[in-house]
A = this chain, B = another copy of it.
Amino acid sequence: MKITKLGEFGLIKELQKKCSGTLSDVLTGIGDDAAVVKVTDRKFLITSDMLIEDVHFDLSFTTFFQLGYKFLAVNISDILAMGGTPKYFLVSLGIPGDYDSEDIYELYSGVKKIAGKFGIAIIGGDTCASGQGLVLSGTLIGNANRIVSRSGAKEGDGIFITDTLGDSAIGLQLLKTRGKRVHIFSPASPRLKLIKKHLMPDIKQLKSTSKLTSMIDVSDGLLADLSHICDESKVGAIIYKENIPLSEELRSISNSMGQDPVQYALKGGEDYALLYTARPTYKTNDYKIGEIIKEGRYIIDSKGKKTLFKPEGYEHFKKISDKRSAISSQLKS
């Protein structure tokens, strides 16, 4: 049913039904002036993200389900990057009147899919009309006993990453070449695996964060995000180029395209892997990619050659000044 026909209150009623069955500490969910949660004696973490059609996503490349999934995924990634556990999500939607309510329900299905994986309750938000395109704004609230910020890295710490890098960036490129939406459940080919990494990033929570000294999630790209840690912790860093984890799929597809896979890993962004530092004695199965040093930021290759690096990565406003370049950065968030 068209949103104009269903009306705002009709839509809220439907969404309320779809979001029932929340956690026992949610005292009031969707439908009153505000949501209410019972507070326990921990710290609260709060993060917000906004996604705008034709800037951050293009509906000719993503299904509503994938969009909803990724929308919550990037917020979860922010909470995990602080050492927290995600708990409550508020979804605000600006919806063009001629959109179909079924599409909005599909978007909610994507949100609920990943919410279910992490035990997150959808407790509220806002729905309103949008004159031009679809706008999503989400606020995710989590809790934590101990916060891991960006500012605690110390000289001598190891630098670790939880997942391969660059898959999402090349996945975006492959998706644009393909030029249309693709429903992906069990990706059969390397290309589909990479596209899926872009559309529905695989968010992983660390079992324990008690020994970490700093953490961030890789959204703007390894170099840009590691630079945030260096800036906030007032330290330098060395990255061992050959230690950067690359997937088989990224290696084979980038080679076939005549591209250097490491460049996707360094600057691509939207990996949503966790990048963290810990004392040198820290034991983990995650990938150790470098070390925190007193000052300077370097990449060292297998021959020992040192290159200075800068925080290169995606920056939102730089690309939006003309419409064409905005579209070329579509699906970025």
Which A positions have Cβ atoms within 8 angstroms of B? Answer: 3-4, 6-9, 11, 27-28, 31-56, 78-79, 81-82, 84, 88, 90, 92-98, 123-133, 135, 137, 139-144, 147, 149-150, 216-217, 232, 315-321, 323, 326
Given contacts A43-B37, A317-B8, contact A126 B50 (CB under 8 A): yes
In the A-B complex, the 9 residue pairs with the closest CB atoms: A137-B137, A129-B320, A34-B47, A139-B139, A33-B78, A34-B45, A50-B92, A97-B320, A33-B81
Whether the pair B50, A93 counts as a contact (CB closer than 8 A) is yes
A50 to B44, CA, bound (A): 23
Among A11, A34, A41, A82, find the residue whose CB has the most chain B CB atoms closer than 10 A: A34
Known: A43-B37, A126-B50. A55 touches B7 (CB 8 A): no
Residues of chain B with a CB closer than 8 A to A232's CB: 31-32
Residues in B whose Cβ lies below 8 Å from that of A95: 317
Q: A48-B92, A94-B135, A320-B97 are in contact. Are A82 and B34 (CB under 8 A)?
A: yes
Given the complex, which residues of B lie within 8 Å of A124, measured CB to CB? 46-48
Residue of B7, B35, B317 touching A7 (CB-CB under 8 A):
B317
In the bound complex, what is the Cα–Cα distance between A56 and B130 (angstroms)?
Answer: 9
Partner among B6, B32, B78, B131 whose Cβ is within 8 Å of the Cβ of A55: B131
* Contact between chains at B130 and A52 (CB < 8 Å): yes
15 contacts between A and B (CB under 8 A): A7-B318, A33-B217, A34-B140, A35-B45, A36-B44, A37-B46, A39-B43, A44-B44, A48-B125, A49-B92, A50-B126, A50-B135, A51-B128, A95-B317, A131-B133
State the Cβ distance, A68 to closest chain B Cβ, in Å. Answer: 16
The residues of B that contact A139 with a CB separation of less than 8 Å are 46, 48, 90, 139
